[in-house]
């Protein structure tokens, strides 16, 4: 079957096999199923629509049909899976660059996992560990109309004022991510490039970790993706990427 996403390019690591689906509850869930079946390294799962797309902390990722991207890569890294935060960074950088090249927009990153255009969310990334694998999930608002309840969201089509070529975006993203992953296997880390695109840094923020709230200035990030906040008393507190909701 010809790929509706034009996925006929070859990569070294991240999309050695491509599984396309019309509809799935979530590509992350499909990826977990494939890991249970074995031999999942290098699989890219991609769907036209998700009925139960997920974001961080069990939140919903609204995933309508109509020319958007919903995908998950499965990788069995030869680096410790404890470094999985690097995958969020590589994916965010690769996706930001792919969007800018394909749609001529300016993309910024919001800590820890969102891609933004003019303060509105255009894409989200969810990296998860499953056994010895890392699953990197990506949802991008490309061309589909967004439901009215997503007030702080934007699509690439809205931002670019024209339809955006989903195949081209996918191709650029996958090839760029593959290159970053290849560099990571040779020891490269991505926190500095990632930090340079994070508009969160330098801002006054409120971070909620469970019932606890930390108020201060978002100062730096580290290799684990944690955000370091300096409070008014001068204490530096680290906020792990997986558990914190940030407001300002």
According to the binding rule CB under 6 A, does residue 166 interact with ligand ATP?
no
Backbone angles phi, psi at 161, to 5 degrees: 60, 30
Pairwise CA distance, residues 153 & 209, whole Å: 24
Minimum gap (Å) between residue 108 Cβ and ligand ATP: 13
Distances (CA, A) of 219 to 88, 190, 195, 202, 212: 19, 17, 10, 6, 19
Instruction: Tell me: does residue 62 bind ligand ATP (CB under 6 A).
Output: yes
Which span (55-63, 69-77, 78-86, 177-185) binds ligand ATP, by CB under 6 A?
55-63
Shortest reach from residue 168's CB to ligand ATP, in Å: 20
Alpha-carbon separation of residue 121 from 62, 142, 156, 179 (angstroms): 12, 11, 10, 25
Q: Pick from 11, 24, 26, 141: which binds ligand ATP (CB under 6 A)?
A: 141
Nearer to ligand ATP, 12 or 59 (CB): 59
**Cβ of residue 70: shortest distance to ligand ATP, in angstroms?**
9
Q: Does 108 bind ligand ATP (CB under 6 A)?
A: no
Residue 59 binds ligand ATP (CB under 6 A): yes
> Of the ranges 9-17, 52-60, 159-167, 176-184, which one interacts with ligand ATP (CB under 6 A)?
52-60
Among 113, 158, 176, 184, binds ligand ATP (CB under 6 A): 113
Residue 37 CB, nearest approach to ligand ATP (Å): 27
Residue of the chain from 70, 72, 90, 114 that contacts ligand ATP (CB under 6 A)? 114
Position with the least CB separation from ligand ATP: 55
SS (H, E, C) the chain: CCCCCCCCCCCCCCCCEEEEEEEECCHHHHHHHHHHHCCCCCEEEEEEEECCCECHHHCECCCCCCCCEEEEEEECCCCCHHHCHHHHHHHHHHHHHHHHHHHCCCCEEECCCEEEECCEEEEEEEEEEECCEEEEEEEECCCCCCCCCCCCECCHHHHHCCCCCHHHHHHHHHHHHHHHHHHHHCCCCCHHHHHHHECCCCCEEEEEECCEEEEEEEEEECCCCCEEEECCCCCEEEECCCCEEEEC
Q: Please identify, among the stretches 58-66, 70-78, 182-190, 200-208, the one whose residues bind ligand ATP according to the rule CB under 6 A.
A: 58-66
Decide if residue 25 touches ligand ATP (CB under 6 A): no
Nearer to ligand ATP, 36 or 65 (CB): 65
Options 150, 188, 196, 209; binder of ligand ATP; rule CB under 6 A? 150
Whole-number Å distance between alpha carbons of 65 and 132: 32
Q: Binding ligand ATP by CB under 6 A: which of 67, 124, 216, 225?
A: 124
Chain residues that interact with ligand ATP, rule: CB under 6 A: 55-57, 59-62, 113-114, 121, 124, 141, 150, 153, 245-246
């Amino acid at each position: 079957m010809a790929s509706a996403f034009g996925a006929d390019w070859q990569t070294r690591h991240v999309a050695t096999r491509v599984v396309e689906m019309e509809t799935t509850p979530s590509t992350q869930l499909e990826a977990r199923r494939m890991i249970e079946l074995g031999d999942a390294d290098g699989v890219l799962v991609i769907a036209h629509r998700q009925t139960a797309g997920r974001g961080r902390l069990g939140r919903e990722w609204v995933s309508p049909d109509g020319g958007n991207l919903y995908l998950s890569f499965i990788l069995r890294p030869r680096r410790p899976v404890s470094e999985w935060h690097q995958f969020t960074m590589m994916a965010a950088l690769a996706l930001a660059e792919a969007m800018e090249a394909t749609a001529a927009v300016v993309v910024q990153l919001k800590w820890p996992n969102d891609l933004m255009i003019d303060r509105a969310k255009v894409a989200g990334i969810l990296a998860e560990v499953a056994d010895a694998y890392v699953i990197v999930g990506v949802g991008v608002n490309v061309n589909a109309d967004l439901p009215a309840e997503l007030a702080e969201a934007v699509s690439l089509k809205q931002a670019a004022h024209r339809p955006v070529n989903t195949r081209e975006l996918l191709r650029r993203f996958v090839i760029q991510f593959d290159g970053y992953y290849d560099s990571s296997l040779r020891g490269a880390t991505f926190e500095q490039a990632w930090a340079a695109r994070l508009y969160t840094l330098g801002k006054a923020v409120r971070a909620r970790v469970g019932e606890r709230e930390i108020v201060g200035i978002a100062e730096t990030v580290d290799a684990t993706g944690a955000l370091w906040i300096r409070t008014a008393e001068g204490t530096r507190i680290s906020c792990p990427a997986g558990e914190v909701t940030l407001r300002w």
